[in-house]
Structure 1
Amino acid sequence: MTAGAEAVAGAAREVGLIRPRPLPGAALRLVCFPYAGGGASVFASWPAGTGPDIEVCAVQLPGREARFGQRPFQDVRTLVSAVEASLGELLDEPFALFGHSMGALVAFEFARRLAARRRRAPAHLFVSARPAPHLPRPWPRAHLLPDDQLIDRVRQIGGTPEQVLADARLMRLVLPVLRADFAVNDGHVHRPGPLLDCPVTALGGRDDPEASPRALTAWQRHTTGPFRLRLFDGGHFYLREHRDELLRVVRESLAG
C-alpha cells in the first residue's frame, strides 16, 4: 500500500455511518452530510418523514458526538476520499445524497469523485443552504479568525443557542471542530470538470443571508440533469422548523 493509500485508509476509519432506522431491503438510501460542527444526530428524526422505502444514512465525521476527540478533516478532497472508502458496497446500491451548508459542498464533491471514478451515480443530489461552488464566497475566511471573532461568526449564521456560545468551557471543546469545518469550506477551490448528470435540487431559507435564492439557483450549471429550486420560510437553519415540509420535497423528488 502506498503512503497516499495508507492515509486514505486511515482516514476512512474515522468516518462513520449512522442508520437511525435500518432498512435492509430499502429501495434507496439517503446519505446525509451535516453542516459545520454538526453530527449524525442532526438526521436522527428523519426516518419518520422519509417513508418505508428510504433508509436514512447519516455520515458521522470525526471530532463530534461518538467520535469526539478524533482529529477532524480540514480538506474536502481528503474527506470525500475517506467517505468513499467507508461507504464501500453501499455505493453499489441505489442511493441519493443530501448535504446542508458545508455538507452540501461535501455531497457535491463526493458525487463528482464518484463520477470521475466511474462509480454508480446518485439517484439525486440535494444541496441545502450553500451557494453554488463556483461562486466567490462573500464571507470571510472564518477558520483563521481569533476565537472570539469565530464565535461571533457562528452567532451571525444563527442556529446555535446563545447559552452555548456564552459557555467558555464548552466552546473550548467545540471550536477546534468548527474551525476545521470552516477550513473545509474556506479552502475549497472549484475546479471545472465534467458536469453531473443526476437530478439536483437546491433548497434554502428565504431569509438566509448565507445563501440567497440567486446563489442557490446557480447550482443548475453543475448538472445536465433536471434542476429544481425549493425555498422555505426561515434562515440558514430552516430545516429545523420545516423538517416535515423538507422531507416531503425529498420524498416526492425521489419518487419522481
Structure 2
Amino acid sequence: MTKATDVSWFPPCRPEATPPPALDADAIQLFCLPHAGAGASAYRDWPALLAPGIEAIPVQLPGRESRHREPALRSAAELVTELKGPVAGCAGEDFALFGHSMGALLCYELAHELSALGKPPRHVFVSGLGAPHIPPTGPRLCDLPDDELVTVIAKLEGTSPEVLAQPELVQLLLPLFRADLEVWETYVHHRGPLQVPVTAMGGRRDPGVGLDLLSAWGSLTSAEFHLEVFDGGHFYHYAAPDEVLALIRERL
C-alpha cells in the first residue's frame, strides 16, 4: 500500500463514503499518469478494478482538478523534476508506471529518473503515444487558434461533445490543453535505452499514432519489449477497460 499521504500528487479518486479497495499485503503499485488536459480522475475506476493484487495510484499533475489553482507546467523536464521525489517517496520495492498520451512521455522520463535514483520500476506501460525519439510532424497543435484546437480535441473523442459545446468550459480547458501539448511538442529526446521492460499499447484507429510509431518504443529499452494493439481510437482504453486491465494484470 502507499507509504505516502501526499494528497496533492496522489489524491483519492473515490467518493468519501466509499471505502478503499482491499489490497494484498504484497500488492504491486501502479502509478497512473494522465493524458493532456486530464487529471487523476481519468483513472478513478482503476483502483477498484485492479485490486487486490495491484494498487492503482492515479497521479494528479499541477493545474488540474484539485490542483487547478496551480500553474500547469509546460515541459517534461519540469514535470518530472517535480514528480520524481513524491513518486520515489511513495513507491515501495515493487511498482510499475502507466501513462497515456502525454502521460506516456512522462512515464518514460520518470522511469529514467527513478532508475538513476536506484529505484527502477518493474515495468513501464506507454499508451497512445509514438516513441519520443521520433519528433512530431505537422503544425504545433499548442499554437493553433482556439476553434481549430477544439476541432482537434473533438476528433480524438476523449472529451464529451457536451463539454466542448459550452464556451465557458472550453475557455477554462484550453489553456491546460495547450500547456500539456507544449510538453510533448517541445520535448527533445536525450536518453539512452531504459533497462526495464516496456509495453507499448495503442488503438488500431488512432489517427495520430500508427503501429510504426508504437513499435519504435522497442528501440528505447534494452530489456523485454511488447507491442499490444486494441480495437478503438486514441482513447481505446476507455472503450475496452477490461481488456486493457487484464493485460496489465498479466504483465505484472
TM-score normalised by structure 2 residue count? 0.89
Instruction: Report the 3-state secondary structure (helix = DSSP H, G, I; strand = E; otherwise coil) of the residue aligned with 2:10.
Output: strand
Q: Given the alignment of the two structures, is residue 197 of structure 1 paired with residue 224 of structure 2, yes or no?
A: no
- Alpha-carbon displacement from aligned partner over 1:80-116 (angstroms, at most 9, x marks no partner): 011112224223421100000000001001111222x
The 1:67/1:26 distance shift into structure 2, 3 A limit, reads: farther
Q: 2:9 corresponds to which residue?
A: 16
Q: 1:213 corresponds to which residue?
A: 211
State the one-letter code of the partner of 1:190. H
Q: Is the 8 A contact 1:14 1:61 kept in 2?
A: no
The 1:125/1:42 distance shift into structure 2, 3 A limit, reads: same
Q: 1:9 corresponds to which residue?
A: none
The 1:238/1:123 distance shift into structure 2, 3 A limit, reads: same
Q: Is the 8 A contact 1:63 1:177 kept in 2?
A: yes
**Number of residue pairs matched?**
240
State the one-letter code of the partner of 2:203. G
Divergent runs of 4+, >4 A: none
- Greater CA drift, 219-228 or 90-99: 90-99
Distance 1:218 1:245 in 2: 23
Q: Is the 8 A contact 2:29 2:91 kept in 1?
A: no
Q: How far apart are residue 24 of structure 1 and its match?
A: 8.4
State the one-letter code of the partner of 2:53. D
Q: 2:162 corresponds to which residue?
A: 163
State the one-letter code of the partner of 1:207. R
Q: 2:66 corresponds to which residue?
A: 66
Distance 1:253 1:146 in 2: 41
Q: 2:140 corresponds to which residue?
A: 141
Q: 2:44 corresponds to which residue?
A: 44
Q: Given the alignment of the two structures, is residue 120 of structure 1 paired with residue 144 of structure 2, yes or no?
A: no
Instruction: Report the 3-state secondary structure (helix = DSSP H, G, I; strand = E; otherwise coil) of the residue aligned with 1:189.
Output: coil
- Alpha-carbon displacement from aligned partner over 1:34-88 (angstroms, at most 9, x marks no partner): 0001111111111233231211111101221111121111010110011112224
Q: How far apart are residue 233 of structure 1 and its match?
A: 0.5
Q: Given the alignment of the two structures, is residue 245 of structure 1 paired with residue 238 of structure 2, yes or no?
A: no
The 1:14/1:53 distance shift into structure 2, 3 A limit, reads: closer
Percent identity, aligned pairs only, is 43
Distance 2:137 2:126 in 1: 18
State the one-letter code of the partner of 1:145. L
State the one-letter code of the partner of 1:232. F
State the one-letter code of the partner of 1:166. A
Unaligned runs of 5+ in 2: 1-5, 14-19
Q: Give the superposed CA RMSD.
A: 1.8
The 1:214/1:15 distance shift into structure 2, 3 A limit, reads: farther
Q: 2:3 corresponds to which residue?
A: none
Q: Is the 8 A contact 2:157 2:235 kept in 1?
A: yes
Distance 1:108 1:209 in 2: 22
Higher helix share: 1
The 1:122/1:88 distance shift into structure 2, 3 A limit, reads: closer
Q: Given the alignment of the two structures, is residue 82 of structure 1 paired with residue 72 of structure 2, yes or no?
A: no
- Greater CA drift, 161-170 or 242-251: 161-170
Distance 1:88 1:136 in 2: 29
The 1:25/1:209 distance shift into structure 2, 3 A limit, reads: same
Distance 2:136 2:101 in 1: 13
Q: How far apart are residue 213 of structure 1 and its match?
A: 1.2
Instruction: Report the 3-state secondary structure (helix = DSSP H, G, I; strand = E; otherwise coil) of the residue aligned with 2:222.
Output: coil
